[in-house]
Structure 1
Amino acid sequence: MANVTIIGGHGKVALLAEPKLVEAGHAVNAVIRNPEQTEEVEKTGASAVILDIQNASTTEIENMLKQTKTDVLVWSAGAGGGDRQRTFAIDQDAAIRTMEAAQYTGVKRYIMVSYMGAGNGHRVPESNGFYAYETAKAVADAFLRDSDLDFTILGPGALTTDPAEGIEVNNDPENNETPRELVAEVIAAVVDDDSTIGKAIPFSAGSDSVKQAIAAAPAKRDFKK
């Protein structure tokens, strides 16, 4: 079993993924900025780690990875849109610092929660708040693909609160509703499946088995059609 560290440990997806990883036998560290979130995070069975990832230096992230004895690093953080400067600071710059820190400390396995359209250009004008997110995620994903890390990039579609009933591995922006619970299930499954290393897996709600679908996903390194 592995020591799994989740960046963005109080996020809606992370709070669903943490108990699944704990149930699978992993030791889980949930990286959070606000100490007041500790109790909620630790109810999942994870250990809270306080670190402001937006402002943490690469060295500070390295120290955190060493202290937690991280084997697998999961990026599940995000600025949440809106503020362009914060979006670039978190979704691009901070994400890249975690990749650099992982490489410097020998943490080979890195799982990125991205989104289905990442790297396919801009679907909105520059004046739209989502434009910065599209740009930041494309840059961060490209940096990860060019790194020496054993990466998997996950590309869920539009997130919903629906229950997870199955998966479809696809890249269809017109049919992309994706329960957050399904994203959590995919994170847990990918941690245990080294056949997903080097893959970018776009997915949404469907009827297939998660474990079988991710194992059978094409060995693509991006989401471009």
Structure 2
Amino acid sequence: MKIVIAGGHGKIALRLTRRLAARGDSVLGIVRNPRHIEDVKAAGGQAVLLDLERATVDEVAASVAGADAVVFSAGSGNSATAARRDKMDRAAVLLVMDGAAQAGVRRFLHVSSINVGCADDRGIGEGYAVYLRAKRAAEQHVFARTDLDWTVLRPGVLTDGPGEGSVELTPGNRLAPSGARFDQVAREDVAAVLAALLDRPQSAGRIYVVVGGDTPVEKAVEV
């Protein structure tokens, strides 16, 4: 398969690139910083320079043309302003989906957050609350697409550990839970789940929550 990853230099994205390249897939990472190109290449992929805050739909479509799937794993970063969070965590998702649809790429995986459905933003900090509002709006864009075979993955609190190869993966829903969750999951395991979901077209139209757990990834994705 040919996979395009928006946010190709991210911590999940580079791990996913290594996994996909190791199994023989072709990976193209969309990056905005030319200094990141070599890191993507070192992970086994190729890179294309494109700033998703300024790109056009035509530019995105040209970048993803010929792909079997697009994974959106870009993000605004911990210190981003509210305006940048809206651009990267909401508007860029819509942009990439529009580009994928224009290029005829139907499969779309979106990396979201475990707390997107959280009903109460109090007590979690304004920066995180702004981030979640942007991610919620992005998910609404995703759910509305009938021209894409989308899957949404909501990871728990991300860690940089080596990964266990096992997770707790549960079908999500669009209902708000009573409060924020802070279950942890290694980025390596999130990458493993994404790679497995790419192989499973039956996961289209579904939302999953992933945290650390005891079920091997290959078995977990069969839920």
TM-score normalised over the length of structure 2:
0.90
Aligned to 1:192: 199
SS at match of 1:215: coil
Contact 1:201 1:214 in 2 (8 A): no
Equivalent runs, 1:33-72 vs 2, <5 Å: 33-66=32-65, 69-72=66-69
Shift of 1:175: 5.7
Structure 2 partner of 1:137:
135
Contact residue 33 and residue 53 of structure 1 kept, 8 A = yes
Partner residue, 1:119? 117
Q: Are 1:78 and 2:85 an aligned pair?
A: no
d(CA) in 2 for partners of 1:195, 1:211: 14
SS of the residue 1:53 aligns to: coil
Give the secondary structure class of the aligned counterpart of 2:126: coil
Contact (CA 8 Å) 1:164, 1:182: kept in 2 or not?
A: yes
Task: Note the alpha carbon deviations across 1:57-80, whole angstroms, 9 max, x for none.
Answer: 1121112222xx222000000001
CA positional deviation for 1:123: 2.5
Give the AA of the match of 2:196. A
Q: Is the CA contact 2:185–2:210 (under 8 Å) kept in the aligned structure 1?
A: yes
* Residues 1:86 and 1:49: Cα distance change in structure 2 (over 3 Å): same
- Tell me how far apart the structure 2 counterparts of residues 101 and 207 of structure 1 sit (CA, whole Å): 37
CA contact (8 A) 1:195 1:215 kept: no
Is the alpha carbon distance of 1:129 and 1:156 closer, same or farther for their aligned partners in structure 2, counting shifts above 3 Å?
same
Alignment partner, residue 221 of structure 2: 214
Q: Number of aligned residue pairs: give it.
A: 213
Change (3 A) 1:164 1:62: same
Q: Which residue of 1 aligns with 2:208?
A: 201
| CA 1:174–1:135: 2 relative to 1, 3 Å | closer
Report the alpha carbon displacement of residue 81 of structure 1 after superposing the two structures with TM: 3.5
Q: Is the 8 A contact 1:122 1:131 kept in 2?
A: no
RMSD of the alignment, in Å?
Answer: 1.8
Contact 2:149 2:204 in 1 (8 A): yes
- Cα deviation for residue 121 of structure 1 reads 3.1
Deviation at 1:163, TM superposition (A): 2.2
Aligned residues of 1:121 and 1:134 also touching (Cα < 8 A): no
Residue 127 of structure 1 and its aligned partner are, at CA, apart by 6.7
- 2:39 and 2:110 map into 1 onto residues whose CA distance is 23
* Equivalent in the alignment of 2:183: 176
Runs of 4+ in 1 over 4 A off after TM superposition: 170-175
- For 1:182, the aligned partner's letter is D
Paired AA for residue 67 in structure 2: T
